[in-house]
Each structure stands twice: as C-alpha cells, then as structure tokens.
Amino acid sequence: MFTISGLRLASGNVWGNFRFMLGSSIEAAQYVGIDDNQGTAARRNTVQMVETIDLTTTAGAAMRGTNQPFYSRMRTRISNAGKIGVDATTTFNIDVEFTEGPI
C-alpha cells in the first residue's frame, strides 16, 4: 500500500494520475486518478494505492535480497491548469508485505 498524505494541489483544477514504481523496471499496473475541480486556491489531498507486484518474473527474481527504491510517479493531463506538488507537510507511507513462493 502506498499512501501520500498532504499532496499539494494549486494554481487551478487538477486532473492527473498517480502510480508507483519498484526499482527501475517494475511499475504498478494500475493508476489512481486525481480529479480535483476546486479552482486556484492551494489545497491538500490524500491519495492511496494498493497493488500486488509479481516478483516471480525474471526481473522480480533478480531483486530478491537487494535494496530497491520505491518511486512515486505523478503526471497531469494536457488539459490540466493546476499543479501537483509536495513539500515539508507531505507524508509518504509505504506498507510492504512479502509472501514467499517458488520462482
């Protein structure tokens, strides 16, 4: 589970997507939509994503026993007038659970 609390939205309406990436090669299959039609005032939002990542693939198996970074990936749509941002009051929380199985 990947949660972002206090995501900053400002400068206009925000339409965009959020997903996360494990290491440099495994990206979450689905995204969470950010749809905020509240104008130009700065405001805060919480976005949460739950995803199952299959590490039994060749790329996943190579990650076993290594340290891998998590990246948050956000982008706005072309028609977007607003901005997505983070600052000192934004919190990222990652809850990871592993289930062992054959490769």
The pTM (predicted TM-score) of the whole model is: 0.78
Res. 89: pLDDT tops 90:
yes
Phi, psi of 67 (to 5 degrees): -90, 130
Q: For residue range 24-60, what is the model confidence (pLDDT) as tens digits?
A: 888 887 889 999 989 999 999 999 998 887 777 777 7
Mean pLDDT for 3-20 is: 92
User: Domain ranges in the chain?
Assistant: 2-94
Q: Under 8 Å CB-to-CB from 24, ≥6 apart: which residues?
A: none
Which of 54, 52, 50, 51 has the alpha carbon at shortest distance from 101? 54
